[in-house]
Amino acid sequence: MQIEIKPIAEGVPPKPQTVDRVILLLLALFGGLALLNFDQAVQSGQFVGKAVLGILPYFLLAILFAAYARATGLDQLISAAFSRGTVLAIFTGSLAGALSPFCSCGVIPLIAAMLAAGVPLSPVMAFCISSPIMSPEMFLLTAAGISDEFAVAKTAIAIGMGLFSGFAVLGLERLGYLGQPLRQAIGCSCGTSVFAAGQKTTIVTRFWESRQRRQAFVEVFQKNGFFLGKWMTLAFFIESLMVAYLSPEMVAKLVGSGNALAIPLAVIVGVPAYMNGYAAIPLISGLLELGMMPGAAMAFMTAGAVSSIPAALAVFALVRRPVFAVYIGLGLIGSLTAGYVYQLTSGW
Protein backbone atom coordinates (compact mmCIF):
# COMPACT_ATOMS: atom_id res chain seq x y z
CA MET A 1 0.00 0.00 0.00
CA GLN A 2 1.34 3.35 -1.02
CA ILE A 3 0.86 6.41 1.15
CA GLU A 4 0.67 9.73 -0.61
CA ILE A 5 2.27 12.57 1.26
CA LYS A 6 0.52 15.81 0.39
CA PRO A 7 2.32 19.11 0.63
CA ILE A 8 1.06 21.67 3.08
CA ALA A 9 -1.39 23.97 1.42
CA GLU A 10 -0.27 27.49 0.83
CA GLY A 11 -1.83 30.07 3.03
CA VAL A 12 -2.10 27.78 6.05
CA PRO A 13 -0.62 29.67 8.97
CA PRO A 14 2.21 27.94 10.83
CA LYS A 15 1.61 26.56 14.28
CA PRO A 16 2.01 29.40 16.75
CA GLN A 17 5.03 29.14 19.02
CA THR A 18 4.37 28.99 22.75
CA VAL A 19 5.91 31.61 24.99
CA ASP A 20 9.24 30.49 26.40
CA ARG A 21 8.90 29.00 29.90
CA VAL A 22 11.93 30.83 31.27
CA ILE A 23 10.53 34.17 30.12
CA LEU A 24 7.15 33.28 31.60
CA LEU A 25 8.81 32.43 34.92
CA LEU A 26 10.76 35.68 34.90
CA LEU A 27 7.62 37.71 34.18
CA ALA A 28 5.68 35.83 36.85
CA LEU A 29 8.36 36.40 39.48
CA PHE A 30 8.71 40.06 38.62
CA GLY A 31 4.94 40.56 38.55
CA GLY A 32 4.51 38.80 41.89
CA LEU A 33 7.27 40.90 43.43
CA ALA A 34 5.66 44.07 42.09
CA LEU A 35 2.38 43.15 43.78
CA LEU A 36 4.04 42.33 47.10
CA ASN A 37 6.76 44.98 47.17
CA PHE A 38 6.68 47.49 44.33
CA ASP A 39 9.73 49.40 45.54
CA GLN A 40 11.81 46.21 45.58
CA ALA A 41 10.55 45.33 42.10
CA VAL A 42 11.84 48.67 40.85
CA GLN A 43 15.18 48.11 42.59
CA SER A 44 15.42 44.58 41.18
CA GLY A 45 14.70 45.90 37.70
CA GLN A 46 17.45 48.48 38.08
CA PHE A 47 19.80 45.82 39.45
CA VAL A 48 19.16 43.53 36.49
CA GLY A 49 19.62 46.39 34.04
CA LYS A 50 22.97 47.39 35.53
CA ALA A 51 24.12 43.77 35.69
CA VAL A 52 23.16 43.13 32.06
CA LEU A 53 24.92 46.30 30.90
CA GLY A 54 28.00 45.39 32.93
CA ILE A 55 28.28 41.92 31.46
CA LEU A 56 27.12 42.84 27.95
CA PRO A 57 30.61 43.38 26.43
CA TYR A 58 31.82 39.95 27.61
CA PHE A 59 28.54 38.33 26.63
CA LEU A 60 28.57 39.73 23.10
CA LEU A 61 32.25 38.89 22.70
CA ALA A 62 31.65 35.26 23.66
CA ILE A 63 28.54 34.91 21.47
CA LEU A 64 30.29 36.52 18.51
CA PHE A 65 33.26 34.22 19.03
CA ALA A 66 31.01 31.16 19.00
CA ALA A 67 29.31 32.31 15.79
CA TYR A 68 32.59 33.25 14.14
CA ALA A 69 34.22 29.96 15.10
CA ARG A 70 31.33 27.99 13.63
CA ALA A 71 31.10 29.99 10.39
CA THR A 72 34.85 30.01 9.66
CA GLY A 73 35.68 26.46 10.75
CA LEU A 74 37.82 27.65 13.65
CA ASP A 75 35.76 25.53 16.04
CA GLN A 76 37.06 22.36 14.40
CA LEU A 77 40.68 23.42 14.86
CA ILE A 78 40.05 24.39 18.50
CA SER A 79 38.51 21.01 19.16
CA ALA A 80 41.41 19.22 17.48
CA ALA A 81 44.00 21.28 19.37
CA PHE A 82 42.47 20.53 22.78
CA SER A 83 41.82 16.90 21.98
CA ARG A 84 45.44 16.13 21.11
CA GLY A 85 46.78 16.99 24.56
CA THR A 86 44.06 16.78 27.17
CA VAL A 87 46.41 16.86 30.18
CA LEU A 88 48.15 19.97 28.89
CA ALA A 89 44.76 21.46 28.02
CA ILE A 90 43.61 21.01 31.64
CA PHE A 91 46.64 22.94 32.90
CA THR A 92 46.04 25.60 30.28
CA GLY A 93 42.33 25.85 31.13
CA SER A 94 43.02 26.21 34.86
CA LEU A 95 45.64 28.91 34.37
CA ALA A 96 43.63 30.75 31.73
CA GLY A 97 40.56 30.66 33.95
CA ALA A 98 42.35 32.21 36.91
CA LEU A 99 43.74 34.98 34.68
CA SER A 100 40.55 35.68 32.72
CA PRO A 101 38.37 38.72 33.55
CA PHE A 102 35.08 36.77 33.56
CA CYS A 103 32.74 36.51 36.54
CA SER A 104 30.70 33.43 37.46
CA CYS A 105 27.91 34.33 35.01
CA GLY A 106 30.03 36.05 32.38
CA VAL A 107 32.00 32.88 31.76
CA ILE A 108 28.92 30.91 30.69
CA PRO A 109 28.75 32.08 27.03
CA LEU A 110 32.44 31.28 26.56
CA ILE A 111 31.95 27.82 28.04
CA ALA A 112 29.04 27.26 25.68
CA ALA A 113 31.22 28.25 22.75
CA MET A 114 34.01 25.88 23.81
CA LEU A 115 31.68 22.92 24.31
CA ALA A 116 29.86 23.63 21.06
CA ALA A 117 33.23 23.64 19.28
CA GLY A 118 33.86 20.12 20.55
CA VAL A 119 36.44 20.94 23.21
CA PRO A 120 36.62 18.04 25.71
CA LEU A 121 34.72 18.58 28.94
CA SER A 122 37.75 18.14 31.23
CA PRO A 123 39.66 21.31 30.20
CA VAL A 124 36.37 23.21 29.95
CA MET A 125 35.51 22.17 33.51
CA ALA A 126 38.96 23.29 34.67
CA PHE A 127 38.33 26.69 33.10
CA CYS A 128 34.74 26.82 34.40
CA ILE A 129 35.79 26.19 38.01
CA SER A 130 38.87 28.42 38.17
CA SER A 131 37.58 31.40 36.18
CA PRO A 132 34.91 32.82 38.54
CA ILE A 133 37.15 32.48 41.60
CA MET A 134 39.87 34.87 40.48
CA SER A 135 40.63 37.48 37.82
CA PRO A 136 43.25 40.25 37.53
CA GLU A 137 40.79 42.87 38.76
CA MET A 138 39.59 40.58 41.55
CA PHE A 139 43.20 40.03 42.65
CA LEU A 140 43.84 43.76 43.02
CA LEU A 141 40.58 44.40 44.87
CA THR A 142 41.10 41.41 47.17
CA ALA A 143 44.65 42.50 47.98
CA ALA A 144 43.45 46.02 48.79
CA GLY A 145 40.29 44.99 50.63
CA ILE A 146 41.57 41.97 52.60
CA SER A 147 45.30 41.33 52.23
CA ASP A 148 48.01 40.50 49.69
CA GLU A 149 48.47 37.08 51.25
CA PHE A 150 44.77 36.27 50.94
CA ALA A 151 44.75 37.35 47.26
CA VAL A 152 47.79 35.22 46.41
CA ALA A 153 46.34 32.20 48.24
CA LYS A 154 42.99 32.64 46.48
CA THR A 155 44.74 32.69 43.10
CA ALA A 156 46.63 29.49 43.90
CA ILE A 157 43.41 27.88 45.12
CA ALA A 158 41.61 28.89 41.91
CA ILE A 159 44.27 27.15 39.81
CA GLY A 160 44.34 24.14 42.15
CA MET A 161 40.56 23.72 42.09
CA GLY A 162 40.62 23.97 38.31
CA LEU A 163 43.25 21.24 38.06
CA PHE A 164 41.43 19.01 40.53
CA SER A 165 38.14 19.42 38.66
CA GLY A 166 39.69 18.91 35.24
CA PHE A 167 41.45 15.69 36.14
CA ALA A 168 38.42 14.39 38.04
CA VAL A 169 36.27 14.90 34.94
CA LEU A 170 38.97 13.36 32.76
CA GLY A 171 38.82 10.23 34.91
CA LEU A 172 35.03 10.09 34.60
CA GLU A 173 35.27 10.57 30.84
CA ARG A 174 37.71 7.70 30.48
CA LEU A 175 35.30 5.51 32.44
CA GLY A 176 32.63 6.29 29.88
CA TYR A 177 30.64 8.89 31.79
CA LEU A 178 29.61 12.47 30.99
CA GLY A 179 29.23 12.03 27.24
CA GLN A 180 27.55 14.84 25.29
CA PRO A 181 27.68 17.51 28.03
CA LEU A 182 25.52 20.17 26.34
CA ARG A 183 21.76 20.15 26.64
CA GLN A 184 19.93 19.40 23.40
CA ALA A 185 18.47 22.89 23.29
CA ILE A 186 21.84 24.55 22.99
CA GLY A 187 23.58 21.70 21.26
CA CYS A 188 21.24 21.74 18.31
CA SER A 189 21.59 25.44 17.85
CA CYS A 190 25.25 25.27 17.10
CA GLY A 191 26.07 21.61 16.75
CA THR A 192 25.61 21.24 13.01
CA SER A 193 28.82 21.80 11.11
CA VAL A 194 28.89 23.81 7.91
CA PHE A 195 31.21 21.16 6.48
CA ALA A 196 30.25 17.92 4.83
CA ALA A 197 31.28 14.65 6.44
CA GLY A 198 34.86 13.81 5.62
CA GLN A 199 35.57 17.24 4.15
CA LYS A 200 38.90 18.76 5.08
CA THR A 201 38.52 21.58 7.57
CA THR A 202 39.96 24.91 6.46
CA ILE A 203 39.69 28.33 8.04
CA VAL A 204 37.70 30.75 5.88
CA THR A 205 38.03 34.16 7.50
CA ARG A 206 35.85 35.88 4.87
CA PHE A 207 32.90 33.71 5.82
CA TRP A 208 30.36 36.30 4.66
CA GLU A 209 31.18 35.43 1.06
CA SER A 210 29.49 32.04 1.51
CA ARG A 211 25.73 31.92 1.95
CA GLN A 212 25.95 28.71 3.99
CA ARG A 213 28.53 30.18 6.34
CA ARG A 214 26.57 33.42 6.75
CA GLN A 215 23.53 31.40 7.75
CA ALA A 216 25.59 29.42 10.25
CA PHE A 217 26.91 32.64 11.80
CA VAL A 218 23.46 34.21 12.16
CA GLU A 219 21.88 31.00 13.51
CA VAL A 220 24.51 30.46 16.18
CA PHE A 221 24.48 34.11 17.24
CA GLN A 222 20.70 34.33 17.50
CA LYS A 223 20.01 30.99 19.18
CA ASN A 224 22.90 31.14 21.64
CA GLY A 225 22.23 34.79 22.44
CA PHE A 226 18.55 34.17 23.19
CA PHE A 227 19.10 30.91 25.08
CA LEU A 228 21.89 32.18 27.33
CA GLY A 229 20.51 35.69 27.63
CA LYS A 230 17.16 34.64 29.09
CA TRP A 231 18.78 32.35 31.69
CA MET A 232 21.34 34.96 32.72
CA THR A 233 18.60 37.59 33.09
CA LEU A 234 16.71 35.22 35.38
CA ALA A 235 19.93 34.58 37.33
CA PHE A 236 20.50 38.31 37.83
CA PHE A 237 16.92 38.76 39.02
CA ILE A 238 17.37 36.04 41.64
CA GLU A 239 20.66 37.66 42.65
CA SER A 240 18.85 40.97 43.20
CA LEU A 241 16.52 39.25 45.66
CA MET A 242 19.45 37.73 47.56
CA VAL A 243 21.12 41.13 47.81
CA ALA A 244 17.88 42.56 49.21
CA TYR A 245 16.88 39.82 51.66
CA LEU A 246 20.16 38.16 52.78
CA SER A 247 21.89 40.64 55.05
CA PRO A 248 25.57 40.51 56.09
CA GLU A 249 24.43 40.28 59.70
CA MET A 250 22.64 37.02 58.94
CA VAL A 251 25.78 35.61 57.35
CA ALA A 252 27.90 36.77 60.29
CA LYS A 253 25.74 34.83 62.75
CA LEU A 254 26.34 31.60 60.86
CA VAL A 255 30.03 31.76 59.93
CA GLY A 256 31.54 34.54 62.00
CA SER A 257 31.85 32.88 65.38
CA GLY A 258 34.91 30.72 64.69
CA ASN A 259 33.25 27.49 65.79
CA ALA A 260 34.39 24.03 64.69
CA LEU A 261 31.77 23.89 61.92
CA ALA A 262 32.59 27.34 60.56
CA ILE A 263 34.24 26.07 57.36
CA PRO A 264 31.49 23.60 56.36
CA LEU A 265 28.88 26.23 57.24
CA ALA A 266 30.74 28.79 55.14
CA VAL A 267 30.55 26.45 52.15
CA ILE A 268 26.82 25.86 52.68
CA VAL A 269 26.01 29.52 53.32
CA GLY A 270 28.23 30.69 50.47
CA VAL A 271 25.96 29.08 47.87
CA PRO A 272 22.80 31.13 48.54
CA ALA A 273 24.36 34.15 50.27
CA TYR A 274 27.14 34.97 47.80
CA MET A 275 26.23 37.89 45.54
CA ASN A 276 29.33 38.55 43.46
CA GLY A 277 33.06 38.62 44.02
CA TYR A 278 33.31 42.38 44.39
CA ALA A 279 30.46 42.66 46.91
CA ALA A 280 31.92 39.74 48.89
CA ILE A 281 35.24 41.50 49.54
CA PRO A 282 34.00 44.12 52.05
CA LEU A 283 31.67 41.53 53.57
CA ILE A 284 34.51 39.07 54.19
CA SER A 285 36.80 41.84 55.40
CA GLY A 286 34.25 42.85 58.01
CA LEU A 287 33.61 39.25 59.07
CA LEU A 288 37.34 38.63 59.50
CA GLU A 289 37.52 41.64 61.79
CA LEU A 290 34.67 40.09 63.80
CA GLY A 291 36.72 36.92 64.30
CA MET A 292 35.76 34.78 61.32
CA MET A 293 38.19 31.93 60.69
CA PRO A 294 40.35 32.66 57.62
CA GLY A 295 39.65 29.17 56.29
CA ALA A 296 35.93 29.84 56.53
CA ALA A 297 36.41 33.12 54.67
CA MET A 298 38.24 31.35 51.85
CA ALA A 299 35.65 28.57 51.72
CA PHE A 300 32.82 31.11 51.55
CA MET A 301 34.38 33.03 48.66
CA THR A 302 35.33 30.00 46.58
CA ALA A 303 32.06 28.14 47.13
CA GLY A 304 30.06 31.26 46.38
CA ALA A 305 31.97 32.07 43.22
CA VAL A 306 31.58 28.58 41.76
CA SER A 307 28.25 27.35 43.09
CA SER A 308 26.18 30.44 43.89
CA ILE A 309 22.56 30.26 42.79
CA PRO A 310 22.92 32.68 39.85
CA ALA A 311 25.99 30.88 38.50
CA ALA A 312 24.54 27.43 39.14
CA LEU A 313 21.30 28.37 37.42
CA ALA A 314 23.18 29.48 34.31
CA VAL A 315 25.24 26.27 34.23
CA PHE A 316 22.12 24.17 34.80
CA ALA A 317 20.53 25.73 31.73
CA LEU A 318 23.60 24.95 29.64
CA VAL A 319 24.65 21.36 30.43
CA ARG A 320 22.97 18.04 31.07
CA ARG A 321 22.06 17.05 34.62
CA PRO A 322 24.93 14.58 35.26
CA VAL A 323 27.44 17.22 34.20
CA PHE A 324 25.71 19.81 36.37
CA ALA A 325 25.79 17.47 39.37
CA VAL A 326 29.52 16.89 38.87
CA TYR A 327 30.07 20.65 38.55
CA ILE A 328 28.31 21.37 41.85
CA GLY A 329 30.00 18.46 43.60
CA LEU A 330 33.47 19.47 42.49
CA GLY A 331 32.85 23.07 43.47
CA LEU A 332 31.69 22.17 46.98
CA ILE A 333 34.40 19.56 47.60
CA GLY A 334 37.08 21.88 46.28
CA SER A 335 35.87 24.80 48.40
CA LEU A 336 35.71 22.69 51.55
CA THR A 337 39.23 21.37 50.94
CA ALA A 338 40.51 24.87 50.15
CA GLY A 339 39.07 26.20 53.40
CA TYR A 340 40.79 23.59 55.56
CA VAL A 341 44.10 23.85 53.68
CA TYR A 342 44.13 27.62 53.98
CA GLN A 343 43.21 27.46 57.67
CA LEU A 344 46.16 25.14 58.33
CA THR A 345 48.70 27.04 56.22
CA SER A 346 47.73 30.68 56.67
CA GLY A 347 49.55 32.92 59.08
CA TRP A 348 46.39 34.52 60.46
304 within domain boundaries: yes
User: Can you give the pLDDT at residue 184?
Assistant: 61
| Beta carbons of 150 and 175 less than 8 angstroms apart | no
Worst-scoring range by mean pLDDT, 186-190, 255-259, 284-288? 186-190
Give 317's contacts (C-beta < 8 A, 6+ positions apart): 22, 183, 227, 228, 231
Average pLDDT (222-240) is 80
Task: Give me the pLDDT at residue 6, please.
Answer: 38
Position with higher pLDDT, 247 vs 213? 213
Does residue 282 belong to any structural domain of this protein?
Answer: yes
Whether residue 17 lies inside any domain: the answer is no
**What residues pair up with 319 in beta bridges, in sequence order?**
182
The residues pairing with 182 across neighbouring beta strands, listed in sequence order, are 319
How high is the mean pLDDT of the chain? 79
Average pLDDT of the residues in 188-212? 60
User: What CA dihedral angle connects 120, 126, 128 and 129, to 10 degrees?
Assistant: 150
Looking at residue 195, its pLDDT comes to 39
In a domain, 248, yes or no: yes
* Overall average pLDDT of the 150-171 stretch: 95
Inform me whether the pLDDT recorded for 106 exceeds 70: no
Look at the chain and report how many structural domains it folds into.
1
Residue 293 covered by a domain: yes
Residue 29 lies in a domain: no
pLDDT digits (tens, 9 = 90+) for 48-78: 898 888 778 877 877 787 788 778 877 666 6
Q: What is the extent of the structural domain holding 188?
A: 38-194+201-345
Mean pLDDT within 2-31: 61
Express each pLDDT in 81-104 by its tens digit.
Answer: 666 678 888 998 899 888 876 666
For residue 348, give the amino acid letter.
Answer: W
Is 294 inside a domain boundary?
yes
Q: Is the residue at 32 inside a domain?
A: no
Among 27-36, 182-191, 239-248, 288-297, the least confident range: 182-191
Instruction: Please state the rounded mean pLDDT for residues 22-34.
Output: 91
CA-CA distance, 299 to 232, in Å (whole number)? 25
Using the predicted structure, report yes or no on whether residue 191 has a pLDDT greater than 60: no
